[in-house]
């Protein structure tokens, strides 16, 4: 397996182009199953998860093309891809494909809506908690689907004539369930109302794409989505929004290492809670016409308490990165993880740098230190892996991060982006 080697101590100065959001690209790709016409997506990131979902969609019969860079497009920008699901040749999503990535389970919504049946393996993904699919099935049943579990597969059938709109009130916020029911409802008969819907920007990005494809959706960006079903959707061209988690990650990297970095293309309104937290820690954050500038030069990092929350709160996907930052604060900070019950696996690895962190249930207490020391560490999941890179940027000496295939799932050209800003970082091939 590949490893990443880095030597800490260098400030970060320069620009980092923010890639397209993984958490929007994946459901946007899946939405291509809803129409027999081509869907063109722009700014698609080059990630392992994108490649894995390509395999899954091809298994269903989707033709996929990757286009070259067009005149005037910035070097290093995302891919332009066409997804054409003219014929669904198979409504089964097999275990060997779905088990590698949780978001692939979301194909159940479009398959059920368009083909009226689906057989999808229960999902896999990062081992950061159980993340059950009960809310997905609750929503699909409410739309009239008959659901059965058979040898690790969810077998779903729509009633004769297709899914039927209804009011669905989620007992708790779920991004995946909101994506799935939103897509399924576009082809349901009548009106579907989703109450307590997730409000993440990625949900809005997908909803806007569906509208461009002919869907009738109101309430985008709110916790109440209203979908008037249509008989069919058509093709469209749509752009994947910039990745707010990548934005926050590089902002925290600049905060930890020091320096002055422009995060080009970033949208501050997509992660304001995280930016406000960074500002409270003593980091200078300014919005510019073409992105967000992050600046810290010599001043200490102040301890700040956070609690992860659904959007617009502090994102759980930035919790590990923020914890890495707090290990070098001038005092004690507290982090409460409310989204996933097993998202502190990075604590033991951060301790290898000399970090002083204790965990009691959902609460982590971080006692800041003036200096971390480089170490051999192991990535345990996608976001935890990048928190180790952030710690290594500021640690004294050499750090080796093992099992970086987790990084490749969600961060595009990470070593290149950081090295261009002065980091001493390289990938060591296995």
Catalytic residue set: 126
Q: For residue 44, say whether it is annotated as part of any ligand binding site.
A: no
Q: Decide: residue 51, CB within 10 A, 0-12 exposed, 13-18 middle, 19+ buried.
A: exposed
- CA-based diameter of the chain, in Å? 67
Structure token digits, residue 242: 């910039």
Distance between CA atoms of residues 314 and 334, nearest Å: 13
Question: Residue 94: which region, alpha, beta or left (left: phi > 0; alpha: psi -120 to 50)?
Answer: beta
Q: For residue 50, say whether it is annotated as part of any ligand binding site.
A: no
Q: For residue 172, say whether it is annotated as part of any ligand binding site.
A: yes
Strand order in the sheet with 236-239: 63-67, 79-84, 39-44, 236-239
Q: For residue 100, say whether it is annotated as part of any ligand binding site.
A: no
Q: For residue 339, say whether it is annotated as part of any ligand binding site.
A: yes
Q: For residue 131, say whether it is annotated as part of any ligand binding site.
A: yes
Closest by CA to 253, choosing from 353, 392, 354, 117, is 392
Q: For residue 57, say whether it is annotated as part of any ligand binding site.
A: no
Distance between CA atoms of residues 13 and 259, nearest Å: 5
Q: For residue 173, say whether it is annotated as part of any ligand binding site.
A: yes
Instruction: Give the CA dihedral 338, 252, 101, 348, nearest 10 degrees.
Output: -70
Q: For residue 317, say whether it is annotated as part of any ligand binding site.
A: yes
Strands 39-44 and 284-288: unpaired
Known binding-site residue numbers for phosphoenolpyruvate: 22-23
Known binding-site residue numbers for UDP-N-acetyl-alpha-D-glucosamine: 102, 131-135, 172-175, 317, 339
């Amino acid at each position: 397996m590949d490893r990443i080697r880095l030597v800490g101590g260098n400030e970060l100065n320069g620009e980092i182009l923010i890639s397209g959001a993984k958490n929007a690209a994946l459901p946007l790709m899946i939405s291509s199953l809803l129409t027999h016409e081509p869907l063109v997506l722009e700014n698609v990131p080059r990630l392992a998860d994108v490649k894995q979902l390509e395999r899954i969609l091809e298994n269903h019969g989707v033709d996929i093309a990757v286009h070259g860079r067009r005149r005037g497009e910035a070097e290093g920008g995302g891919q332009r891809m066409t997804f054409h699901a003219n014929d669904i040749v198979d409504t089964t999503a097999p275990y060997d494909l779905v088990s590698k990535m949780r978001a692939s389970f979301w194909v159940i919504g479009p398959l059920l809506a368009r083909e009226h049946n689906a057989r999808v393996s229960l999902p896999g993904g990062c081992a950061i908690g159980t993340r059950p699919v009960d809310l997905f099935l609750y929503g699909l049943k409410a739309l009239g689907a008959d659901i059965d579990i058979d040898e690790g597969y969810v077998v779903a059938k729509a009633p004769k004539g297709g899914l039927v709109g209804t009011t669905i009130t989620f007992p708790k916020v779920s991004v995946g369930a909101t994506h799935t029911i939103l897509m399924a409802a576009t082809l349901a008969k009548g009106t579907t109302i989703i109450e307590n819907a997730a409000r993440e920007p990625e949900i809005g990005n997908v909803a806007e794409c569906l509208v461009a494809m002919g869907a009738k959706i109101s309430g985008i960006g709110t916790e109440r989505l209203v979908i008037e079903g249509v008989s069919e959707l058509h093709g469209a061209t749509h752009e994947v929004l910039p990745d707010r988690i990548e934005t926050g990650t590089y902002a925290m990297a600049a905060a930890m290492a020091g320096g002055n970095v422009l995060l080009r293309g970033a949208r501050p309104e997509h992660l304001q809670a995280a930016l406000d937290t960074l500002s409270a820690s003593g980091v200078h954050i300014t919005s510019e016409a073409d992105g967000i500038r992050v600046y810290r030069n010599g001043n200490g990092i102040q301890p700040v308490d956070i609690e992860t929350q659904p959007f617009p709160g502090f994102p759980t996907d930035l919790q590990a990165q923020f914890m890495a930052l707090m290990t070098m604060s001038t005092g004690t900070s507290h982090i409460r993880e409310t989204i996933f019950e097993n998202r502190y696996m990075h604590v033991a690895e951060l301790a290898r740098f000399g970090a002083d962190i204790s965990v009691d249930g959902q609460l982590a207490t971080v006692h800041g230190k003036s200096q971390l020391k480089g170490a051999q560490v192991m990535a345990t999941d996608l976001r935890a892996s990048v928190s180790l890179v952030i710690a290594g940027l500021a640690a004294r000496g050499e750090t080796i991060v093992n099992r970086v295939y987790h990084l490749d799932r969600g961060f595009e050209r990470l070593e290149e982006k950081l090295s261009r800003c002065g980091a001493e970082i390289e990938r060591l091939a296995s």
